């Protein structure tokens, strides 16, 4: 193979690790009015801070809901209040991805704009539900860590963290743990700054204009040409969407149903694909270049599966405290958290949808192709993952977002001749609900919880899946 890109995950991680000084008081003073605001790093950054043991109540800020102050009760780790570099998203990671975190994770943060501290917020613990399938090259890279869900907190410069192990039967299932006593080793808080946009490095037009885009799957796509001002990594990602959009396109335009037959050819290269009658109209899709993905973070090349048989719907569990204009920054933060903090080869989801119904390209490799993701552990092969940005356990998903999921699935599933109302069979790659090798019957449009024991995509978004299947099929023109 003729790989032309090199991963910079290790470099980015090493450069981002910076332990700030802890303040001696439980609360931080607001920044002085005359102080200049710290600039946001254009390329984004990650601060990775180890969580230490926390003692009895004297060492912690008061009013932590649900946290015990008795030293005899389960292990508690965290950070006392401290000032840090600016960040907008938080999550907790630990060394061994196979070790589950049974406990409660809470943070509070200080807003840059006001200098005030938030209330304590819970972070969803995840426990392997979003991850590469076991036994894959991605899961065996040696970089994958255990991780919680990420939480979007907005522009912040102070943080306090508490993680307390859970008492009771659930905790005893964790490997090597006595009841309710221990937390995973190597726990760190990850503070992610999304940056302003994709950092663009000019490619030498004379010496650096072409290279072979041959990924680790052995699928030699031939030569990729970078436009002036475009990195080769960005050119590789953008070229995967040709001919749906030109090289360097920030969006893939919407198409009527009658104009989408060429998309089916792009999906699998089959001339007979153009005869498929049930391809829904293509929605407008913001490309990775459009939302500002730093392509130097991910692994080079793409990994594909043979087809797309099902779509798994998720919520990002990152909270609903974002405006639609912030969605690209949320996505850049999720991407950095998945790659730099969790150790995956790229963003886990194939697509994302914001609360206003805008669709975004997720994992690189081409929106029409069967790209292997890391969204539903055990069922990433021959499926696609769609994450609605937000948390929909007790908040109703916006109608625009639900409509966008129906439009996206009508188009993408139609490319592979899948009826959104039907069922299909996927072979489990292993997880907490189905043993590896088990053939599982699933809805073509399923919720994450259908393949893994989890609350995702939240009960209120999950309740929207039956009408979504009907709408998606109608958009395909099915009787």
- CA dist 272 and 264 (Å) reads 9
pLDDT given for residue 86 in this prediction: 97
pLDDT given for residue 137 in this prediction: 76
pLDDT given for residue 296 in this prediction: 95
Q: Is 407 helix (H, G, I), strand (E, B) or coil?
A: helix
- CA dist 393 and 388 (Å) reads 12
Per residue in 441-477, pLDDT (tens digit) is 999 999 999 988 889 999 999 999 999 999 999 999 9
Q: Which parts of the chain sit beneath pLDDT 50? A: 1-41, 57-60, 69, 71, 169-180, 199-222
* Domain presence at residue 228: no
pLDDT given for residue 213 in this prediction: 36
Element (H, E) at 329: helix 327-336
Residues 280 and 365 grouped into a single domain: yes
According to DSSP, residue 341 is labeled: I
Strand partners, 183: none
- CA dist 325 and 358 (Å) reads 10
Number of H helices, E strands in the chain: 9, 19
Phi then psi dihedrals of residue 329, to 5 deg = -70, -40
Nearest residue to 328 (alpha-carbon basis) of 282, 389, 373, 385: 389
According to DSSP, residue 274 is labeled: G
Residues 164 and 285 grouped into a single domain: no
- CA dist 119 and 144 (Å) reads 31
Residues 295 and 434 grouped into a single domain: yes
* Domain presence at residue 188: yes
Q: Which domain holds residue 382?
A: 264-476
pLDDT given for residue 74 in this prediction: 80
Per residue in 216-267, pLDDT (tens digit) is 343 434 467 777 778 999 999 999 999 999 999 999 999 999 899 889 998 9
- For the chain, the domain total comes to 2
* Domain presence at residue 201: no
Q: With beta carbons less than 8 A apart as the criterion, state whether 191 and 85 touch.
A: yes
* Domain presence at residue 221: no
**pTM (two decimals):** 0.83
3-state helix, strand, coil in the chain (%, to 5): 20, 25, 55
* Domain presence at residue 229: no
- CA dist 241 and 450 (Å) reads 30
Residues constituting the chain: 479
Residues 185 and 324 grouped into a single domain: no
DSSP for 296-312, written as a single string: TSSPSS--B-S---EEE
* Domain presence at residue 28: no
CATH number at residue 272: 3.40.80.10
Nearest residue to 101 (alpha-carbon basis) of 26, 23, 162, 187: 187
- CA dist 99 and 185 (Å) reads 9
* Domain presence at residue 127: yes
* Domain presence at residue 276: yes
Token output for 434 = 């189905």
Residues 175 and 283 grouped into a single domain: no
């Amino acid at each position: 193979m003729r790989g032309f890109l090199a991963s910079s995950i290790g470099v980015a991680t090493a450069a981002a690790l910076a332990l700030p000084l802890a303040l001696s008081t439980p609360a931080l003073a607001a920044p002085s009015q005359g102080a200049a605001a710290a600039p946001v790093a254009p390329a984004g950054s990650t601060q990775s801070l180890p969580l230490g043991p926390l003692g009895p109540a004297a060492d912690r800020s008061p009013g932590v809901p649900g946290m015990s102050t008795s030293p005899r009760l389960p292990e508690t780790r965290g950070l006392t209040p401290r000032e840090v570099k600016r960040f907008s998203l938080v999550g907790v990671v630990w060394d061994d991805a196979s070790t589950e975190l049974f406990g409660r994770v809470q943070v509070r943060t200080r807003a840059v704009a006001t200098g005030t501290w938030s209330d304590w917020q819970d972070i969803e613990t995840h426990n392997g539900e979003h991850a590469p399938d076991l036994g894959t090259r991605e899961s065996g890279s040696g970089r994958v860590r255990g991780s919680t869900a990420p939480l979007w907190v907005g522009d912040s410069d102070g943080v306090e963290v508490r993680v307390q192990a859970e008492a009771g039967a659930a905790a005893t299932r964790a490997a090597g743990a006595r009841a309710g006593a221990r937390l995973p080793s190597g726990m760190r808080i990850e503070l992610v700054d999304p940056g302003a946009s994709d950092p663009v490095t000019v490619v030498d037009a004379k010496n650096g204009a072409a290279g072979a885009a041959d990924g680790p799957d052995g699928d030699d796509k031939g030569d990729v040409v970078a436009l002036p001002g475009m990195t080769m990594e960005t050119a590789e990602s953008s070229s995967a969407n040709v001919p749906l959009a030109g090289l360097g396109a920030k969006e893939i335009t919407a198409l009527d149903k009658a104009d989408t037959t060429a998309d089916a050819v792009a999906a699998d290269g089959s001339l007979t694909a153009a005869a498929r009658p049930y391809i829904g109209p293509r929605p407008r899709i913001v490309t990775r270049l459009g939302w500002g993905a730093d392509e130097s973070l991910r692994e080079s090349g793409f990994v594909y599966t043979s087809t797309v048989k099902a779509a798994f719907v998720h919520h990002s569990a990152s909270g609903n405290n974002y405006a639609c204009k912030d969605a690209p920054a949320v996505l850049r933060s999720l991407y950095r958290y998945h790659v730099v903090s969790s150790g995956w080869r790229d963003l886990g989801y194939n697509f994302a949808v914001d609360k206003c119904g805008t669709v975004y390209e997720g994992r690189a490799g081409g929106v029409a192709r069967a790209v292997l993701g890391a969204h539903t552990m055990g069922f990433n092969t021959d499926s696609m993952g769609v994450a609605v940005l937000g948390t929909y356990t007790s908040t109703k998903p916006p109608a625009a977002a639900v409509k966008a999921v129906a439009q996206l699935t009508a188009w993408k599933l139609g490319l592979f001749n899948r009826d959104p109302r039907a069922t299909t069979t996927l072979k489990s790659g292993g997880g907490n609900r189905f043993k590896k090798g088990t053939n599982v019957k699933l809805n073509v449009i399923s919720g994450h919880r259908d393949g893994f024991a989890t609350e995702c995509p939240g009960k209120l978004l999950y309740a929207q899946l039956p009408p979504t299947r009907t709408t998606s099929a109608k958009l395909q023109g099915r009787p």
